[in-house]
Amino acid sequence: MAAGSLFASVPRAPPVAVFQLTADFREDRDPRKVNLGVGAYRTDEGQPWVLPVVKKVEQKIANDASLNHEYLPILGLPEFRANASRIVLGDDSRAIKENRVGGVQCLGGTGGLRIGAEFLRRWYNGTNNTATPVYISSPSWENHNSVFVNAGFKDIRAYRYWDAAKRGLDLEGLLEDMESAPEFSIFVLHACAHNPTGTDPTLEQWKQIAAVMKRRFLFPFFDSAYQGFASGCLDRDAWAVRYFVSEGFELFCAQSFSKNFGLYNERVGNLSVVGKDADNVQRVLSQMEKIVRTIWSNPPSQGARIVATTLTCPQLFAEWKDNVKTMADRVLLMRSELRARLQALGTPGTWNHITEQIGMFSFTGLNPKQVEYMIKEKHIYLMASGRINMCGLTTKNLDYVASSIHEAVTKFQ
Catalytic residue among 49, 177, 200, 259: 259
141 assigned to active site? yes
Residue of 187, 179, 197, 186 whose CA lies nearest to 139: 197
Q: With contact defined as beta carbons under 8 Å apart, do 238 and 203 qualify? A: no
Angstrom distance (rounded) from CA 187 to CA 148: 11
Which spans in 130-183 are helix H? 142-150, 171-180
Which spans in 313-367 are helix H? 314-345, 353-356
Pairing of strands 268-274, 101-107: antiparallel
- Backbone φ and ψ of 83, nearest 5°: -80, -30
Determine the number of helices (DSSP H) and then strands (DSSP E) in the chain.
17, 13
214 assigned to active site? no
Radius of gyration over every alpha carbon of the chain, rounded to an integer in angstroms = 22
**Residues with Cβ within 8 Å of residue 252, at least 6 apart in sequence:** 112, 116, 120, 220, 221, 222, 271, 272, 273, 274
Residue of 405, 337, 402, 332 whose CA lies nearest to 366: 405
User: How many other CB atoms sit within 10 Å of the CB of residue 132?
Assistant: 19
Catalytic residue among 170, 177, 200, 223: 223
Q: Quick check: bond before 133 cis, omega within 30?
A: no
DSSP characters for 280-309? HHHHHHHHHHHHHHHHTSS--SHHHHHHHH
Q: With contact defined as beta carbons under 8 Å apart, do 312 and 45 qualify? A: no
259 assigned to active site? yes
Vertex 29, ends 26 and 34: CA angle to 5°? Answer: 60
- Taking the mean position of all CA atoms in its chain, how far away is CA 352? 23
Q: Quick check: bond before 196 cis, omega within 30?
A: yes
Angstrom distance (rounded) from CA 335 to CA 230: 12
Catalytic residue among 141, 162, 320, 351: 141
Q: What is the sign, positive or negative, of the torsion defined by CA atoms of 36, 38, 41, 47?
A: negative
Question: What is the identity of the amino acid at 255?
Answer: Q
Active site residues: 141, 223, 259
